[in-house]
Structures are given as C-alpha cells and as structure tokens.
Amino acid sequence: MGEGSAYLPEQVSLSELVLQPGLSGVGGQAMRVVRCLGPDAEEYLYKEYTEEVCEGLRPQPMKDLVSWRRRLTVEERAELDRRCAWPMATVVNGGKIRGILITPAPADMYEDDLGDPEPRHLDVLARKPDVAFRVGAPYYESPVKLAVLAVFFDTMLWLHRHGYAIGDLHPHNALFSFDGLAGEPRVLLIDCDSCVPMSGIPAFAPQDPEIWKMPGLQSFGPRSDLYKFGWMVVRCLQENLESVSLQRHTLLAVMRGSTYELLSSICAGQEVPGAAGTLRGKAALWRSLISSQALYVQNDDHTRAFWLPRAVTPDSPTRLMGRPPPTGAQPSASSPAPVPYPVPPPAPVPPPTPYPHPRWQQPVQRKSSSSVLPVVVLVALVLVVILVILAAQ
C-alpha cells in the first residue's frame, strides 16, 4: 500500500483528480469509490460521499483526521499507513467536502470473484465450510480466524493509544491477507473516516449496524470497540454473523475457560477492569499458534494442541493441514475431529433376481450319486433272484 506523497495537499479540488474508468466498489457512506491520480501524480482511491452523507458531515473534524496523520512522526505515520486506510486528503467541489482520498489496499487483500478482484473483508472468516466448498472459496480454520482477529485487535489498541476509537467496528470494515505458508496475517482497517477522537467531535454522528450496537451506549469509545470486538470473535468462530448468544462447546474447543468467561462478560456489555489488557495477552498467543507446518489451539486440556481441520477446500489456506502432524504433536481430544463434506451414500445393490428365467437359461439340475445308489442295489437283487429261480429249474 502506498504511503501518499509529501506533495499532496491536505485539501484538493475534485477537478485536480484524474479519475480512472471503472468502479472500484461502493462503501456504506460512499456514492462511489474510484481509482484516481492525485495532483502529486500518485495513485489513490477517491471515496465520494452521497448527498445525504455530505449533509451530515462535520467539515472541521474531517480536516482534523487528515492533519493528525501529517503531525505524526515519520515512523508513526508509516505504522498508521500499514494498519489503516486513513484519510490522506479531503476532496472539495463547489466549496464543500465531497469525499476523501485514501491509498489502495495491497493486491493480496483481494480475492478472485468470477474473474473480478474483490476485497477480502474479515466477514469471510465466518464462512462455513460447506458454503466455501460450494462456491470454491477458501475456508479459514479456527486458529486462522483467531490469528487474524488478534492482528485486528492489535490495531484497535494501537489507535486507542493514539487517541482514537474505531467506532463503527464490524468485520466488513477491515481487509486481510493470509497465504497460509509464510508469515502472519496482515489486516487493514478501512472506513477510517468514521474513527472517533477520544477528546473531540467525530466527523460523523455515531452510526453502526443494529446487530453491532452496544445496548445503552450513545457514543463511541474504547468500551464500545471492546464490546464489538468480543462479538467479532464469537461470531467468526461460530460462523454466524448474526449470533446473539455464545456456544460454549464451540468456543471452549479453541480457547481456555478463562478466555471464554472474559468474552462472555464483554459481550454482555459488562465493564471488566483491565479487560483490554488481559485480552491483549490472550490475542498475542493466538498469533503464535499458526505456522507453515500446522495449526494449533490452546484450551483447558492442552497448552498446544494440534488442530484437526474441519475441511480442506479448493485453494484453501489450510491445504497445508493435509500433511501429517509434526513430530511430537498430538491431536487434542477436545479438538473437533475432521468433518468431511456430506457425500450421499452409494445406492444399495439389489439382490440377485430369483428364477424363473427362460427355461433355456435355467441351470441343469443333476441328481447326486447318493440318490441313485439304492435303485441300483434293488435292481441287482432282483436280477440275482431271477437267476436263482432259473437255475433251480
């Protein structure tokens, strides 16, 4: 992902952009998102807001998002750009902000969809194995889900330390890459124009999907971020983005009881002292449980249990799990056994058709020698009697 240019002004005119043909995608707030060349000749994405969004946009907080990035040190700015598609500049037309410029996501955060590249959002972590198999898409095993979510959580905490909450936090607002062979997953937070300064006014009024709202909370902040992240973990592991309850058996197969209890409290909206720090330690472990050779989980029964994959799908990042487990690694009794795709049983073979067949096809029924012997003996006796009578005459 590009880092922008030092020659890009904080505010540019729409007429200064060279828009590329073709739609790159549409976001929730956007009327369109298109590739373009900025006045510095660098490539960006132009996110153009709908009229309704423009009416509710607060210009100064949006400008503050852009200028905050410029005030960071070189190292911090590079770190922000690695983690977030942060607004690089505001785009004005007719004296009003009409959109923002952001840098495009890396190519490995896209996946093929019928020949067209589509962004790989975190919500595909909730894809079920049968669905993945049916559409020929990757299926991500539970240890991979946890590792990706751990990287996302690290970015969330990084923003908190720098004075911002994500606010509109849900799986569709982040992209990721994972090749399954080398290195850990990479995550990119998108729609960062919705991020909320912890001391100040956000560019947009708080707004998020109903299923991700934290009950009783009217404003965004670290607590709402933690609540939504807790539900991201639960829903991705349970492979249902509309889950409203925790499946104890599913979650305890891939985490310790203490982690499950912490997530239960977070998802219930309870304020748990030190919850973010505790979860950070657990998330750091999740990132260490995937390797180029195997996947692992930690639960109450095992510190490092070899994960038996549920499924291997075409081009799946878990195809490597088809190899034997590494020396010394034993599958955990609590790890789910492999679940094959449902294959219909073979049709039953009918029993041989009984006779009658046509008479010429029937086998010849031969009498056994044991049934012929008594008759032969009887005939012989009769002949002997006759010879005796004839001799006496």
Q: What is the CATH number of the domain that holds 204?
A: 1.10.510.10
Does 117 lie in the same domain as 53? no
Cα distances (Å, whole numbers) of residue 62 to 91, 98, 172, 208, 225:
11, 11, 22, 18, 20
Q: Which structure tokens are listed for 168? A: 């509109």
pLDDT in tens, the chain (393 residues): 555 666 899 999 999 999 988 655 565 678 889 999 999 999 999 999 999 999 999 999 999 999 999 999 999 999 999 999 999 999 999 999 999 999 999 999 998 777 778 899 999 999 999 999 998 889 999 999 999 999 999 999 999 999 999 999 999 999 999 987 667 899 999 999 999 999 989 999 988 899 999 998 878 999 999 999 999 999 999 999 999 999 999 999 999 999 999 999 999 999 999 999 999 999 999 999 888 788 899 999 888 888 877 644 444 444 433 333 344 444 443 344 333 333 333 334 334 333 333 333 333 344 444 554 565 567 677 777 777 777 776
Relative to beta strand 11-13, strand 89-93 is parallel
User: Do 47 and 74 sit in the same domain of this protein?
Assistant: yes
Domain assignment present for residue 361? The answer is: no
Shared-domain flag, residues 25 and 148:
no
Q: What 3-state DSSP class applies to 362?
A: coil
User: How many separate domains does the chain show?
Assistant: 2
pLDDT of residue 275: 97
- Does residue 355 form part of some domain? no
Looking at the fold, whether 96 and 111 belong to one and the same domain comes out as no
Tokens 């509309």, residue located: 242
What is the pLDDT at residue 154? 98
> What CATH number should be reported for the domain holding residue 26?
3.30.200
Domain that holds residue 188: 107-342
Same domain, 44 and 172: no
Instruction: Count CB atoms within 10 A of the CB of residue 228.
Output: 25
- Note whether 99 and 118 are same-domain residues: no
Residues 96 and 134 in one domain: no
Residue 22: what pLDDT?
63
Residues 68 and 140 in one domain: no
Same domain, 83 and 128: no
Asked whether residue 168 is domain-assigned, the answer is: yes
Residue 269, classified by CB atoms within 10 Å of its CB into exposed (0-12), middle (13-18) or buried (19+), is middle
For residues 58 and 202, membership in a common domain is answered with no
Same domain, 221 and 130: yes
Q: Check whether residue 77 and residue 207 sit in a common domain.
A: no
